[in-house]
Amino acid sequence: MMTVNEVSKLTGVSIRTLQYYDRIGLLKPTEYTGAGYRLYDDAGLEKLQQILLFKALEFPLKDIAAIVNSENFDKSKALEQQIELLTLKKEHIENLITLARGLKARGVRRLNFTAFDTKKLDEYSKRAKEQWGKTSQYKEFVDKSKNWTKDDEKTLMENLMQIFVRFGQLRDLDPASKEVQEQVKSYQNYITENMYTCTDEILLGLGKWLGGGGEVAENVDKECGEGTAEFAYQAIRIYCEK
């Protein structure tokens, strides 16, 4: 077993980041000591390697969590696809380096943007995510969203943000109060009706994203008032623990 401090020194991942991964359910410690310290075994370190490879490929943390925590996750297949993606990324970077060196040597004589084309990389990444995300919720989401337009996506996100606006308006109340708990239910129902079946377990996971800080929480607090994300998380936690 390794302590969180030892894992941090070994991997270069900060202790704060490892603590954050624990809070959002991305990488849970193997166990905790009696004093509450995090401990990681070899399986935990192997999972961290997978997470870091996906991060190097610029996958959002929410996508990484869905992939590595999927019951259908195939580590061997994932490595093959990661190698392919990293190779494509390396090729893309080398093309950019060649372009930059050419511009330095010759100046801008002919406008050439082919080195910036990431279609091949983007397409492979999309196909890989589809293979990694074969959960029932993912399939349901793909089915519901297959005919969405950009306007549909925009409307979905605007309506979702309005749910958090309401949380912001309620944040002076007790998160266990009936009105706040009804708002949590509205949030769960909205996800189920428009995206995928939102079980209490999934809802709690979404709540942890809100309560874990990061970009999602910052955006919610910016639009709905400071502390809204944490308040929504506390309300969701109470709702799911009933």
Calpha distance 72→56 (Å, rounded) = 22
- Per-residue pLDDT 10s for the chain (242 aa) are 999 999 999 999 999 999 999 888 888 999 988 888 899 999 899 999 988 888 887 788 887 888 887 767 777 777 777 787 778 778 767 777 776 776 666 654 544 444 445 565 456 556 555 555 556 666 677 677 777 787 887 888 888 889 999 999 999 999 999 999 999 999 999 989 988 888 888 888 888 878 877 667 888 888 889 999 999 999 999 999 87
- Domain membership of residue 9 as a residue range: 2-53
User: Same structural domain for residues 46 and 108?
Assistant: no
Calpha distance 166→228 (Å, rounded) = 9
- Which of 201, 157, 188, 200 is closest to 69 using CA atoms? 201
Calpha distance 220→168 (Å, rounded) = 9
User: Same structural domain for residues 105 and 176?
Assistant: no
Say if 100 falls within a structural domain. yes
User: Same structural domain for residues 214 and 235?
Assistant: yes
Give the total number of structural domains in the chain.
3
**pLDDT digits over 101-153, tens only?**
766 666 545 444 444 455 654 565 565 555 555 566 666 776 777 777 878 87
User: Same structural domain for residues 159 and 179?
Assistant: yes
The residue among 107, 134, 161 that closes a domain is: 134
Calpha distance 22→158 (Å, rounded) = 30
Mean pLDDT of the chain: 81
User: Same structural domain for residues 20 and 99?
Assistant: no
Neighbours of 211 (CB within 10 A): 19
Calpha distance 119→226 (Å, rounded) = 39
| Nearby residues of 32 by Cβ (< 8 Å), 6 or more positions away | 38, 39
Say if 61 falls within a structural domain. no
Give the predicted TM-score (pTM) of the model: 0.47
User: Same structural domain for residues 122 and 152?
Assistant: no
Query: Looking at residue 116, what is its pLDDT?
Result: 47
